[in-house]
């Protein structure tokens, strides 16, 4: 009986202590789920707290983190990219390391670790017509173009790679190409 009372007393105390002040939660596990971050088109202006409709500028397209690619998937587009499109990234040890890693994930199955076209899918006769990079007259621009649109049997890899990652892969392909005999 004595311990039963003790348990009841402990339960009452715990119920007070554990709940605390509901308005100031002590710990938010996954705060994004409590405090959402919506896009607020309706702001309050500084004068008199009047709600104003903040509309985006006419013709605005939201492209957060996305860099548009306007060169079309045509022969002319290919030639244009080949001549004019330049890599915005400077070659560093870090970009090459990332490029190598991504190449290993997305390209080596077909193109081979060295870029000679002898990837595992080629060895097992699952995919044919994969070129040795050395045999193709490519530039940084044309490699990026092929990554975006694909070419003949090769599909587009635009959705697998982000803007900067694509250019890192381009750097690595150029490196492999320069090392092939
Ligand atoms: C499923 C196999 C496959 C994968 C995966 C693949 N490729 Fe290709 N790739 C090909 C084939 C086949 C061709 C030859 C296309 C043609 O010109 O007919 C090619 C051609 C190319 C060319 C030469 C295009 C030209 O202008 O002549 C480049 C550069 C290239 N690939 C880069 C890449 C990169 C970078 C990746 C990884 C992000 C990749 N490929 C992933 C199969 C693949």
Q: Tally the residues of the chain.
A: 181
What is the end-to-end Cα distance of the chain in Å, rounded? 90
Ligand 1 atom nearest residue 107's Cα: 37
| 58-82 residue pLDDT tens | 888 777 767 889 999 999 999 999 9
Give the chain's mean pLDDT: 86
Higher pLDDT, residue 120 or 49: 120
Distance of CA 95 to the CA centre of its chain: 15
Rg of the Cα atoms in the chain: 29
25 CA to middle of ligand 1, Å?
54
User: Do residues 122 and 128 lie in contact, with contact meaning Cβ atoms separated by under 8 Å?
Assistant: yes
For CA atoms 168, 174, 179, 181, the dihedral sign is: positive
| 85-101 residue pLDDT tens | 999 999 999 999 999 99
Residue nearest to ligand 1 atom 41, measured at CA: 107
173 CA to middle of ligand 1, Å?
11
157 CA to middle of ligand 1, Å?
10
Ligand 1 atom nearest residue 78's Cα: 26
And the tokens for 16? 């007070």
Tokens 């971050």 label which residue?
37
Residue 122 half-sphere exposure toward CB, CA atoms < 13 A: 18
Higher pLDDT, residue 51 or 136: 136
For residue 162, count CB atoms less than 10 angstroms from its CB and return exposed for 0-12, middle for 13-18, buried for 19 or more: middle
């Amino acid at each position: 009986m004595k311990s039963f009372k003790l348990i009841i007393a402990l339960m009452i105390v715990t119920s007070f202590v554990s709940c605390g002040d509901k308005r100031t939660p002590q710990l938010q596990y996954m705060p994004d789920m409590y405090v959402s971050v919506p896009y607020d088109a309706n702001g309050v202006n500084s004068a008199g707290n009047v709600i104003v409709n903040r509309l985006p500028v006419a013709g605005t397209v939201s492209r957060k983190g996305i860099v548009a690619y306007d060169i079309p998937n045509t022969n002319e587009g290919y030639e244009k990219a080949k001549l004019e499109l330049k890599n915005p990234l400077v070659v560093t040890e870090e970009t090459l390391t990332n490029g190598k890693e991504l190449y290993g994930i997305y390209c080596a199955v077909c193109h081979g670790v060295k870029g000679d076209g002898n990837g595992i899918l080629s060895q097992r006769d699952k995919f044919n017509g994969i070129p040795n990079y050395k045999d193709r007259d490519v530039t940084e621009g044309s490699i990026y173009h092929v990554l975006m649109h694909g070419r003949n049997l090769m599909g587009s890899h635009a959705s697998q790679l982000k803007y900067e990652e694509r250019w890192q892969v381009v750097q690595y392909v150029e490196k492999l190409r320069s090392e092939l005999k």
